[in-house]
Chain A
Amino acid sequence: MSIDKDKIKHISKLARISIDSKKSDSLAKDLTSIFKFIEQLNELNTDKVEPLSSILNTPLRSREDKINDGKIRDKILENSPKKNEEFFVVPKVIE
């Protein structure tokens, strides 16, 4: 799979990362060689193999949906790059 600038444009849009056209050239080159490396996997026939998504044999635990902390709004907001009293502030989304 060769990765060209158009593909980089598409993926970076999906990933919400703006990429300028100079960077996009070198990224296309890097990703093409990485995908060539990754595609060694096609040598293997895996038709009858079950995919492994977790190495743990047990199912994930569930827990009761109970509040066990809270009342830390101000502390949480302290890390926000832009806030207005008790709100996170983002650029205007509705005209």
Chain B
Amino acid sequence: MSEIIKKNLSEIIDLIKKKEIKSEELANLYIDKVNKSKKLNSFINTCFEHTIQKSKEFDKKPNLNSLLPGIPLAVKDLFCTNGFKTTAGSKMLENFIPQYESTVTENLWKEGAILLGKLNCDEYAMGSSNETSYFGNVINPIAKDTVPGGSSGGSASALAADLTPATIGTDTGGSIRQPASFTGTVGLKPTYGLCSRWGIVAFASSLDQAGPMTKSVKDCSIMLEAMAGFDKKDSTSIEKKKENYSKNLKTDIKGLKIGIPKEYRVENMPKEIDELWNKGKSILKDLGADIIDISLPHTKYALPTYYIVAPAEASSNLARYDGVKYGYRSSKGNDLIEMYENTRSEGFGDEVKRRILIGTYVLSSGYYDAYYLKAQKVRQLIKKDFDENFGKVDAILTPSTPSSAFKIGEKTNDPISMYLNDIFTVPVNLAGLPAISVPAGLDKKGYPLGLQLIGKTLDEQNILNVAYAFEKNCNFKNEIKNWWL
């Protein structure tokens, strides 16, 4: 039976449709493994009574035509779930129970999925290793002393450890793609505006996007199809028809033009990543794609731009945590202002405070033009780089990350070296484009590495197709040994 939960989402859906397994049996398999996998610390809260009850309801009246029939799913704890604690990995929201459901999770439940629990993440999604969570580090199932990446680290860890058949994360600067790369899984950040941001704890509103994390590209297309869609409750939601990503998935990429940006070959990048990138190019070439060298000259300015724009938006978004309407409140302080100051000092962790202070500073009187306005101008140049090249190429291939999973504690004392993790993923968020990280190989240590495919605005189908063709010809196999059981 336990072999079942090792399967991909699409295979499990087939088993449910063929009535070879019931939703309740499936739920119990996952619950059992979640209970035995506490060492990984990938869950913040579970809701097994709800899971069992909903799976029984499904089995009584199964709707087998839905996209995710009776499938238990754990989600990043940044999505508000009605009646279930949503912490954003913060002490500030440790006991917060939303009175509404995020649009994206609501879409999943409408397609038949069932909530299994809430997954650990960096505090307010600020981090690249899941080490900023108030609820502790998450362990990468590939090796017990390594981080799973972040901020969707709990999602990546739970998925790779077979604690959920698929999951969702959010990606502001790489928070889906980097942990996917670190755990040998697939992660997609959609075009800004494709998935509703309503009901997701906000970090940086002009960059935040929700997206799927899965064991295969086909699974990714199914999840994206279920999540995406216009939502009038999100003023930046794109009004367009739903697409059938899974039905339209194909491996024929003959004649497609794939760009290789020279600026993504950075100093000190391990040789293995360069080799993997070359392997990616030759696989796509063998499949009939044209490989074209391109230049994205402002790439090196993406991270500095991001570290102005994202903290600025975060400092504004996180101003709402004042200890009055919801969340943590300090018992210290003689007046209202002191109560605010102590609440925010005790409720937020170090990285969140750091970013709020950066954001406050770059928006403060006298500095706005020098920092924030400057960053918005450079953001324009970064977007232009992509716009100009997408006249010549259909998709862009790059490494997902400049390294494989690193050790717990290795980068916590040096914020800049932590930030550099997102060097290949951040430009995509600034330009609002879709990108997918797909596992491509293992390094010498046996740790997974991913390649990233970047697409044109709303061209998710195309990058899914290229990733699908690549996956079929790459023969990647994740080697996870269940050492924690």
CB distance from B267 to the nearest CB of A (A): 14
B residues contacting the other copy or chain, number (CB 8 A): 65
- Measured between beta carbons, the chain B residues less than 8 angstroms from A50 are 377, 380
- A60 CB–B CB distance under 8 Å: yes
- A66 CB–B CB distance under 8 Å: no
- B373 CB–A CB distance under 8 Å: yes
- Measured between beta carbons, the chain A residues less than 8 angstroms from B192 are 55-56
- Measured between beta carbons, the chain B residues less than 8 angstroms from A17 are 341, 344-345, 348, 353, 356-357
- B97 CB–A CB distance under 8 Å: yes
Q: Please, how many angstroms separate the alpha-carbon atoms of A34 and B360 in the complex?
A: 14
- A67 CB–B CB distance under 8 Å: no
- Measured between beta carbons, the chain B residues less than 8 angstroms from A14 are 360, 364
Instruction: Name A81's closest neighbour in chain B (CB-CB).
Output: B329
- B107 CB–A CB distance under 8 Å: no
- B64 CB–A CB distance under 8 Å: no
Q: Please, how many angstroms separate the alpha-carbon atoms of A79 and B378 in the complex?
A: 41
Task: Tell whether, in the assembled complex, residue A52 and residue B307 are in contact, meaning their CB atoms are under 8 Å apart.
Answer: no
User: A1-42 CB contact bits vs B (8 Å, 1 = yes)?
Assistant: 001000110011011111100000001001101110111111
Option from A16, A30, A55, A78 in Cβ contact (under 8 Å) with B354 = A30
Option from A55, A72, A79, A82 in Cβ contact (under 8 Å) with B206 = A55
- A46 CB–B CB distance under 8 Å: yes
User: B44-86 CB contact bits vs A (8 Å, 1 = yes)?
Assistant: 0000000000000000000000000000000000000000000
- Measured between beta carbons, the chain B residues less than 8 angstroms from A46 are 374, 377-378, 381
Asked, given contacts A49-B377, A79-B325, A91-B335, whether A56 binds B307 with beta carbons under 8 Å apart, the answer is no
- Measured between beta carbons, the chain B residues less than 8 angstroms from A60 are 235-236
Option from B235, B304, B353, B383 in Cβ contact (under 8 Å) with A41 = B304
Option from A42, A72, A91, A93 in Cβ contact (under 8 Å) with B333 = A91
- Measured between beta carbons, the chain A residues less than 8 angstroms from B378 are 41, 44, 46, 49
CB distance from B316 to the nearest CB of A (A): 11
Instruction: Name B323's closest neighbour in chain A (CB-CB).
Output: A81
Task: Tell whether, in the assembled complex, residue A79 and residue B96 are in contact, meaning their CB atoms are under 8 Å apart.
Answer: yes
CB distance from A80 to the nearest CB of B (A): 6
Find residues 349-408 in chain B having any chain A CB closer than 8 Å to their own CB.
353-354, 356-358, 360-361, 364, 371, 373-381, 383
Q: Please, how many angstroms separate the alpha-carbon atoms of A30 and B355 in the complex?
A: 11
- B305 CB–A CB distance under 8 Å: yes
Q: Please, how many angstroms separate the alpha-carbon atoms of A18 and B181 in the complex?
A: 38
- Measured between beta carbons, the chain B residues less than 8 angstroms from A51 are 373, 376-377, 379-380
Option from B305, B324, B357 in Cβ contact (under 8 Å) with A15 = B357
Q: Please, how many angstroms separate the alpha-carbon atoms of A54 and B197 in the complex?
A: 15
Option from A8, A63, A91 in Cβ contact (under 8 Å) with B339 = A91
- Measured between beta carbons, the chain A residues less than 8 angstroms from B431 are 55
Task: Tell whether, in the assembled complex, residue B301 and residue A54 are in contact, meaning their CB atoms are under 8 Å apart.
Answer: no
Instruction: Name A72's closest neighbour in chain B (CB-CB).
Output: B99
Q: Please, how many angstroms separate the alpha-carbon atoms of A60 and B238 in the complex?
A: 10
Asked, given contacts A17-B344, A56-B193, A93-B336, whether A88 binds B380 with beta carbons under 8 Å apart, the answer is no
- B169 CB–A CB distance under 8 Å: no
A11, A17, A72, A80, most chain B CB atoms within 10 A: A17
- Measured between beta carbons, the chain B residues less than 8 angstroms from A7 are 361
What are 19 A-B interface contacts by the 8 Å CB criterion? A8-B357, A16-B322, A31-B358, A35-B358, A37-B416, A37-B419, A38-B371, A40-B300, A40-B301, A41-B378, A49-B378, A51-B376, A52-B379, A60-B235, A79-B97, A91-B333, A91-B335, A91-B336, A91-B338
Interface residues of A (CB under 8 A from B): 3, 7-8, 11-12, 14-19, 27, 30-31, 33-35, 37-42, 44, 46, 49-56, 60-61, 63, 72, 75-76, 78-82, 88, 90-93
Give me 16 other A-B pairs in contact (C-beta within 8 A), A44-B301, A53-B376 excluded.
Answer: A15-B315, A16-B340, A17-B341, A19-B353, A34-B307, A37-B304, A46-B377, A51-B373, A52-B379, A55-B206, A56-B193, A56-B236, A56-B432, A78-B99, A79-B326, A81-B328
